[in-house]
Structure 1
Amino acid sequence: MQLIETPHLNLDYSFQGLTDEQLEAYAKKRLPKNFDQLKQQLIKGEFKNASEQRPVTHTLCRSIHSVIRAGNGKNRFTEIVRTLRSGKWLGATGKPIKDVVNIGVGGSDLGPMMGSFALKEFADDASLHNLKVHFVSSMDGGQLYAVLPIVDPETTLFIIASKSFGTPDTLANVDTVMEWAQLTIPHEQWLQHHVIGVSANNQAMTDFGIPAKNQLSFADSVGGRYSLWSAIGLPIALTIGSHQFGRMLDGAQQMDEHFNRQPLKQNIPLMMALIGVYNREERNINNLAILPYDGRLRNLPNYLQQLDMESNGKQSSYDNKAISYATAPIIWGGFGPNGQHAFFQHLHQGYDMFTADFIAILHRDAPGFDFSVQQSLREQQRLAVANCLAHRRLMWQGSQKSQDPRNNYPGAKPSNLIFLDELNPSSLGALIAAYEHKVFTQGVIWGLNSFDQPGVELGKKVAAEIHEAIDHMDTAQQPSQSFDPSTDHIIKRM
C-alpha cells in the first residue's frame, strides 16, 4: 500500500501502478532545480505572476495576519457576518434580512457556492443561522428567474462579487435585480441597505453607489479562482459563521506548511502533481475524473475544473514563448453515487482511457438529528464508502473471469483515493489547498504561468462586438457589422 497521511487529509495512490522509486526518479527528472525556492515564494506571497506584473498572494489570505482573520470589533468582514447572522441587519423598510443572494461568476461563484454547500451543517451557532444563501451566475438570467420569485425585496440582500467590478455576466444580473427591486424600494435606499460589494476595485464600487461601509475588498494579487479565502468567501462565512470560516483557513494553512516542508514520499500535493504529469506525459491520458462520494462535495468537480483548466490549459510558457507539448488534462466528473448510474458504464467498459481522483469521507456525525436517524445516516455513509472502494478497485484490477464479453472489465485505469476521516471546515480547507498546490507544481513543471487566463479575453471582445450588432438591429434593418454567414443569420433572426 502507498499511503500518505496528515491530520486532515490522506492520499492512497496504490492503484497508480507506480513504485515510489519510479516516482522519485521522475521527480528528479521533471522538477526544476529551484523548485523549493519557487514553493517558498508561493507560500510567502512572493511568487510572480509575470504577465500581469504582480505577486501571487492567495496563500496570505489564510495567514493569521490576514485582515479577514482580525479578531477585533473593527473588522468589517466579521462585523458584517455577525450582523447578518444575528438578524440585526435591517432592510430599507425596517425588516431583518432573511435571504442573501451572491451575484458573481467564475471564482466569485464556484468557490463560495462549493464551500457553502459542503459546510452548511457546521454553522457555529444554529440559533443565529437564520439566513438562506443563494447563488446567481448565469448571464442569461436563468438562475435569477428561479430565485427572484422566492425572495422578498424588503428582506433580501445582494452581494455583488466581482474582482474587477466590471464583469458583463455579473452586471447583467445586477441590472435585472435593480429593475426588480426598484418596484418596491427606491434605488438609493436599496444601495444603502440591500447591497454589499466585494471586489479588488474599490473605486468601481464607489462609482456604482455602494456605501463604503458596505464594501469589502481584497488584493488585486489574489486570483479569482484562488479567492474563496478572501472576502469573496463571505457567503461561506454567512453560512457557517466567522469562527468556522477561520477553521477552513487554518486547514488550508496547515496544508501550506505540509506542502512547503515535507519530502516527496510524505507530500500529498507534490505526489498528486507528479502522478498527474506522469499520466499526462508517459501514459498520454488527457483527462482526469473527479469523483466525490459524498453529496456535500457535489460541487467540487466544477470548482476544480476552473482551478486546473483555467490555470494550466495553455500553449504559451511563463515567459510568453510558444510551446508545443501537452499541458493540463481535461477536468470533469461528478457525484460518484449518481455517476454509477450514468457514466460509470463507459469508465468500466468503454475504450477511452482516463485517470480519476476518488474522494471519500469515512465518518459522519450527522448533528441535528435524533440518535436513530444519525445511525441510519452513518450507515448510508458506509454504503457510499463501500461503493467508492468497489468501483475504484474494479477500475484498476478489472475482471476477465467470464467468457461473456458483456461481463469483461479490462481494468488498468489508474486512480488516486483521497480520503478524509470526516468532512469539516478544516479538512475542506486542506483538501482545496492541496489541489491548489498540485496545480501550481504542475504549472512549474510545464513552465507555465498558472495565474493568468488570457484565453478567455478574445472571446469577451468578440462577444461584445456581436452584442453591439444585435442591439443595432433594434434601430436598423442591418447589423452594425458582418461576421460570418452562420453568425449573421442568427443575429438577423433575433
Structure 2
Amino acid sequence: MALVSGAGLTLDVSYQNTPINTLTETVTLPEQFDQTRQLLLKGEYLNVSEGRHVTHILSRSIHAVSSAKNRDTRFAKMVNKLRSGRWLGATGKPITAVVNIGVGGSDLGPNMGSFALKEFADDAALNELDVHFVSSMDGGQLYAVLPIIDPETTLFIIASKSFGTIDTFANVDTVREWIKPQLTEQQWLQDHVIGVSSNAVKMNDYGIPPAHQLTFGEGVGGRFSLWSAIGLPIALSCGLRTFERMLSGARAMDEHFGSAPAAENIPLLMAMYGIYNRQHLGINNLAILPYDGRLRMLPNYLQQLDMESNGKQATADNQAINYATGPIIWGGFGPNGQHAFFQHLHQGYDEFAADFVLVLKRQAPGFNAQVANKLADQQQLSVANCLAHRQLMKFGSDNPESPRDHYPGGHPSSLLFMDELTPETFGELIAAYEHKVFVQGVYWQLNSFDQPGVELGKKCAVDILQALQSGAKTSYDESTVTMIKKARGDE
C-alpha cells in the first residue's frame, strides 16, 4: 500500500502501475526544477510568451479578506454590505440576488467553489443571497435566470480579466435591455453592477463607479483566478471567513508542495504518475471521478485547468515538439457515472487512467440527529461504491464461461481523499491540481500560462460573426459558406 499525506489530503497510489521508488527513478524532473518551483511560489516565475510573472499564488495571501488587517478592503466591504442586506438598489430595495456573468476561469472556479462550500456559509444570520451564474454566449442560461430575478433587487457581477470578452458582453448587452422598463442605464451602472477585471481603464470607460470595481493582477491567469477578486461569488455565497479558510487551505498545500520530498509530495507524485501514464504507458486520457456531490463540478474545472495549460505542441521558447503532452481530461460525478459511462470503463476496449476523489465522512449541520445519521449512511454508501469500482477497474474479474461477465481491469488510478470536505481541504485539493499541472508543464518544457489556440479561435469567430451580420461575401470553405448563408436566411 502506498499512501502519502500532506496538508489535509491523502494520496493512495497503490493502484498505479509502478511503485513510487521506481517512478522517481523513471520520471526525472529537470535539474533546475527546485529553483523553478520556488520562483512559482514567490510569484516570480515568468510567463515568457506574455512577458509577465505568474502571480496567482500570491492571491492566496493578498486576499486574506477576513484577517484583521484586511477586513476594511473594498472586497470585504462589498461582501459585508451585500450579505447584511445594506446594499440598496436604485429604487431603495435591498439586493437579494447576484448574477455572475463571466466565462472560463471567470465562471468555472467561482461556480464550483460557491456550490461546494455553500453549507459552510458563515454569518448565518445575515442576508442569504441567491447567487446565479451565467456564462453561455447563446443566452440559454440567461434565458433561465431572468424570469426568476427582479431588476430592482438584483446585482450583476461582470467578471472578465480583459473586460472585453465577447461571450460575456453578449450576455451583458441583453441584461442592459432587460432592465430598461424598471431602471435607467445610469441607475443600473451606479447601483446594480460590480466589475471584476485586471483592466481598470475599461471598467471606467464602461461607466462602472470606481468604488464598485475590483481588480486583480495581470499575472493571475483566468483558470488560476478563483483565489483573487474573481472569487467574489464564493465570498458572497459563503461569507468572508469561509473564503479565507479556503485560501488558507491553498496556502497549506503551497507549503507542502514547496518543501516535501518528491516521494512524499502529493502534487509532485500526481504529476509524475500522469507523465508516466502518458509517456510510458501511452494512455492519452484521465477520468476525474469525484464521489461527493459537492465536488460534482470538479471535472469541468480541471478540464480547463489542465487542457488549456498543457494541451500544446510547442515549447515555452516556441520550438516544435514531437512528443505527447497533457492528456484529455474528462469524467463526471462518480455515483451518477456508474449509471452512465462506467459500463465502457469496465468492459470497453479503451485504455484510461483515473483520479478518484473521495470524502470519507460528512457532517450535517442544520438537520436533526436522525436525518444527520441517514446522511452519514449515504456518505458511507458513496465510499463503498468508490472503493468497489476503483478495485474492479484495477483488478478486473473473469468468468471463463460468460464473456459478458468478463472485466479486463488493468486500468491505473489514484485515490485522493480527505477525512471531511471543509473550506480548507477544498482549497488544498484545488491547489494540489494547480501544482500538478505546473510540474507537468515544466517537464514537457511548455508555458502552462498562455493559450494561443484559444485566442486564434476567438479571432476566427469574430470574422465569421461579421460575415453573418453584414451579409458580405466570404471566402471560407464550402461548408462554412453554406452554413453562414443558412444562418443569415439566404438559403
TM-score tier by shorter-chain length is over 0.9
* Whole-angstrom CA distance in 2 between matches of 1:20 and 1:67: 39
Structure 2: which amino acid aligns with 1:418?
Answer: L
- Per-residue deviation at 1:18? 1.0
Superposition deviation, residue 64 in structure 1: 5.8
Q: Counterpart of 2:11 in structure 1: which amino acid?
A: L
Partner residue of 1:389 out of 370, 387, 399? 387
Q: Please point out which of 161, 176, 182 is paired with 2:180.
A: 182
Partner of residue 432 from structure 1, selected from 430, 433, 442? 430
Counterparts of 1:61 and 1:137, CA distance in 2: 24
Which residue identity does 1:485 align to in structure 2?
E
Question: 1:476 matched to which residue of 2?
Answer: none
Partner SS, residue 102 of structure 1: strand
Q: Which moved more, 1:63-72 or 1:298-307?
A: 63-72
* Matching of residue 492 in structure 1 with residue 490 in structure 2: no
Mapped partners of 1:72, 1:346: distance in 2: 51
> Which residue pairs with 1:221 in the alignment?
219
Q: Distance between the aligned counterparts of 1:433 and 1:176, measured in 2?
A: 35
> CA offset at residue 401 of structure 1?
3.7
Question: What does residue 5 of structure 2 align with?
Answer: 5
User: What is the rounded CA distance, in whole Å, between the counterparts of 2:279 and 2:79 in structure 1?
Assistant: 46
Q: Deviations over 1:201-232 (max 9, x none)?
A: 00000000000000000000100000000000
Aligned counterparts of 1:71 and 1:177: Cα–Cα separation in 2: 37
Which of 203, 206, 209 aligns to 2:204? It is 206
Secondary structure, aligned partner of 2:315: coil
CA deviation map 1:16-64 (0-9, x unaligned): 021122112124xx20001000000000000000000000000000126
Q: How does 1:333-352 map to 2 (within 5 A)?
A: 333-352=331-350
Counterpart selection for 2:467 from 456, 469, 485: 469
CA deviations over 1:330-378 (Å, ceiling 9, x no partner): 0000000000000000000000000000011001001111110000000
Q: How many residues align?
A: 487
Matched, 1:481 2:474: yes
- Equivalent position of 1:23 in the other structure: 23
Deviation at 1:402, TM superposition (A): 4.3
In structure 2, distance between residues paired with 1:19 and 1:123: 41
The offset of 1:68, in angstroms, is 8.2
Alignment check: 8 A CA contact 2:83 2:128 kept: yes
Q: 1:324 offset after TM fit, Å?
A: 1.1
Q: How much has 1:485 moved relative to structure 2?
A: 1.5
| Mapped pair 1:258 → 2:251 | no
* Residues 306 and 437, structure 2, Cα contact 8 Å, conserved in 1: yes
Quick check: 2:290–2:334 contact (8 Å CA) kept in 1?
Answer: yes
Contact 2:271–2:439 under 8 Å retained in 1: yes
- Alignment TM-score, normalising by the size of structure 1: 0.97
Structure 1: how far apart are the matches of 2:475 and 2:263?
58
Compared with structure 1, are the counterparts of its residues 52 and 7 closer, same or farther at alpha carbon in structure 2 (3 Å cutoff)?
closer
CA deviations on 1:452-477 (whole Å, 9 max, x unpaired) are 0001111111111110011112xxxx
Q: Find 1:398's aligned residue among 385, 396, 416.
A: 396
| Unaligned segments of structure 2, at least 5 residues | none
CA contact (8 A) 2:3 2:11 kept: yes
For residues 117-146 of structure 1, give each alpha carbon's deviation from its aligned partner in whole angstroms, at most 9, with x where no partner exists: 000000012121510100000000000000
Secondary structure of 1:206's aligned partner: helix
Shift of 1:488: 1.2
Q: Which residue of the partner structure matches residue 290 of structure 2?
A: 292
Cross-structure match for 1:249: 247
Letter matched to residue 82 of structure 2: L
- 1:37/1:173 CA distance change after superposition, 3 Å: same
Check whether the contact 1:46–1:55 (CA below 8 A) recurs between aligned residues: yes
Given the superposition, is the C-alpha separation of residues 5 and 407 from structure 1 closer, same or farther in structure 2, using an over 3 Å criterion?
same
Contact 2:110 2:226 in 1 (8 A): yes
- Describe the SS at the equivalent of 1:258: helix
Deviation at 1:491, TM superposition (A): 1.4
1:31-50 counterparts in 2 under 5 A? 31-50=29-48
**Structure 1 Cα separation of the partners of residues 270 and 377 of structure 2:** 30
Rounded Cα–Cα distance in structure 1 between residues aligned with 2:183 and 2:453: 40
- Aligned counterpart in structure 2 of residue 419 of structure 1, from 417, 420, 433: 417
Distance 1:16 1:129 in 2: 47
Local SS of the residue matching 1:77: helix
Aligned partner of residue 484 in structure 2, secondary structure: helix
Q: Is the 8 A contact 1:120 1:240 kept in 2?
A: yes
Contact 1:353 1:413 in 2 (8 A): yes
Counterpart of 2:306 in structure 1 is 308
Of 400-409 and 52-61, deviating more is 400-409
Report the alpha carbon displacement of residue 7 of structure 1 after superposing the two structures with TM. 4.2
- Displacement of 1:88: 0.6
TM-score, scaled relative to structure 2? 0.98
- Residues 455 and 68 of structure 1: is their aligned pair in 2 closer, same or farther, counting only changes over 3 Å? farther
Mapped partners of 1:456, 1:138: distance in 2? 16
Q: Quick one: which of 180, 189, 192 aligns to 2:190?
A: 192
Assess if the C-alpha contact under 8 Å between 1:129 and 1:239 holds in 2: no
Q: CA contact under 8 A between 1:102 and 1:134: conserved in structure 2?
A: yes
Matches within 5 A, 1:72-91: 72-91=70-89
Of all paired residues, the percent bearing the same amino acid is 65
Report if the CA contact (8 A) 1:68-1:77 is conserved: no
For the residues of structure 1 that align with 2:216 and 2:15, how far apart are their CA atoms?
41
- Distance of 1:109 and 1:204 partners within structure 2: 20
Aligned-residue offset at 1:71: 3.3
Instruction: Please give the alpha-carbon distance, in whole angstroms, between the structure 1 residues aligned to 2:99 and 2:455.
Output: 27
Deviation at 1:5, TM superposition (A): 1.3
What CA deviation, in whole Å up to 9, does each residue of 1:386-441 have, x standing for no partner?
00000000000111144200000111000000101111110000000000000000
State how far apart, in whole Å, the 2-side matches of 1:143 and 1:24 are: 46
- SS class of match (2:69): coil
